[in-house]
């Protein structure tokens, strides 16, 4: 249980840090040129994969 918690918790933390920085930059870019929204969003959501990996690992630990 604790292992699974750490897996998803720390992964979420990592995603949060990465996404915060990318998001701030993306909002800045969009403010300058609204056409950047799509590209900004792609970059913004990239780190989300980390927490998804955390979720899968947590799930595997729970089932093991």
Partner 1 sequence: MPRMLRPEEMTRAVVIGSIDSLDVTIECLYELGVLHLIDFTEQDEDFKLGQPLGKASDASQKLLKLRSMIRSLGIEGHKPGGQLRTSDISKKIEQALVTLDLNTTSKAEARQRIQSLMREKESEISALGPFRQFGIPVEDYEGYDSISVFAGLCKSDPERDLRSKVPGSDLIKLQRKADVVVAAFVRNEDKVDAVRVLGEHGYQETKLPKLKGQPDDIIRRNEAVLLDLEKDLKRVEADLESIRRQFADLIVASEEYLTIEVMKAETPLRIATSDNSFVIDGWMPSSKFGELQQALGSLCGGLAFVERIPTVKGDEPPVKLKNPKPVKPFEFFIDLVSTPKYDEIDPTLVLFITFPLFFGFMIGDLGFGLGLMALGGVMRWKLKGSPDLQKLGTIVLAGGLLASLFGLFVFAEAFGVPFHPLEAAPDEHSWEVVANIPLHPLLDKMHDIKEMLAISLVAGWAHLTLGFTIGFVNHYRHNMKHALAKLAWLLILLGLFIEIMTVAGDATTTSSFVNSTVLAWVPDMTANIAGIVASIPAVLIILIGVIGLPLTEGAMALSEVVGLFTNLISYTRLAALAVGKGAMALAFNTMLFPLIFESHNIGIAVVGALALFVTQMFFVFFLGALSAGIQAVRLNYVEFFLKFFEGGGKEFSPLRYARKHTVGDK
| Position 61 contacts partner 1 (CB under 8 A) | no
- Closest CA relative to residue 44, chosen from 31, 60, 58, 27: 27
CB 51 within 8 A of CB 15: yes
Tell me the C-alpha distance between 56 and 1, whole Å.
Answer: 14
| Position 10 contacts partner 1 (CB under 8 A) | no
Q: How many chain residues touch partner 1 (CB under 8 A)?
A: 15
Which stretch in 11-19, 21-29, 35-43 sits in contact with partner 1 by CB under 8 A? 35-43
> Binding partner 1 by CB under 8 A: which of 6, 18, 23, 37?
37
């Amino acid at each position: 249980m604790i292992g699974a918690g750490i897996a998803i918790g720390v992964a979420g933390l990592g995603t949060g840090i990465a996404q915060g920085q990318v998001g701030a930059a993306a909002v800045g870019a969009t403010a300058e040129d609204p056409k950047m929204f799509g590209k900004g969003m792609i970059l913004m959501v990239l780190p989300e994969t980390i927490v998804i990996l955390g979720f899968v690992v947590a799930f595997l630990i729970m089932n093991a």
